[in-house]
Amino acid sequence: MSFSHHSEQHYIHRTGWLRASVLGANDGIISVTSLIMGMAASGASTQTLLITCIAGLISGASSMAAGEYISVKSQEDIEKADLDMEHRELQRHPENELKELTQIYMMRGLDPELAHEVAVQLTEKNALEAHARDEIGIHENTAAKPLQAAGSSALAFSLGALFPMFSILLSPEQYIESVVMVVGVLSLALLGALSSYVAGTSPLKGSLRVMLWGIIAMLFSSWIGSLFNITPL
């Protein structure tokens, strides 16, 4: 019996890099834009705002990369520990592990005979892979990838932080705060819509959700900055 090949690209396959990229870009836009708005409200000069923006980009991207790597690396370590444990159990008690796998398939709806046959065949092919996927829940498409997450996050943060930087460079000095906020809100709307589209969800809902929290953060930072007046007398 021959079967035609049919493969679907599911959205869950994008989870690793998409989560890190969206988080990085969102943080890059919101944190750096909020930082600039707070500084602008305090009366800082254009040069100070630009230096602050560059410093925020570098420190933020580095922080995001380090934090994302540590977080995902911890997840990877847990997955490795579970796989090592499962490997030892397969070596020591193969029959018990086969029964366990059979029980899992029975709980998913297969009759006992078929469940046992499936468990036997998958065990013969790759016992550890079968247990990793069906018992532990570790799959190649969703497994932790620290370097990928760190790189995606740092790059996305840097790209997000470019929006407020270009706003400072291109806007008249007296309108910097307003232009930075408008560009920040529009870029968040674009990011929310784009990430939702890639994830297969509603672009409108994603856009509004990201915009709402971004606006709150920007306004709060601007209010705090207005409490400090560093304009030379």
pLDDT at 77 over 70: yes
Residue 2 phi/psi, 5° resolution?
A: -110, 150
pLDDT at 31 over 80: yes
CB 222 within 8 A of CB 37: yes
Dihedral sign for Cα 43, 47, 49, 52, please. Answer: negative
**pLDDT, tens only, 113-160:** 999 999 999 898 888 888 888 888 877 666 668 888 888 889 989 999
The reported pTM is 0.70
pLDDT at 19 over 70: no
Task: To the nearest 10°, report the CA torsion of 49, 50, 54, 57.
Answer: 60
Alpha-carbon distance 227 to 221, whole Å? 10
Two structure tokens written together for 25: 């870009």
Give me the percent of the chain exceeding a pLDDT of 90. Answer: 30
Region for residue 200 given its phi and psi (left: phi exceeds 0; alpha: psi -120 to 50; beta: otherwise): left
Residue pointed to by tokens 């930072």? 221
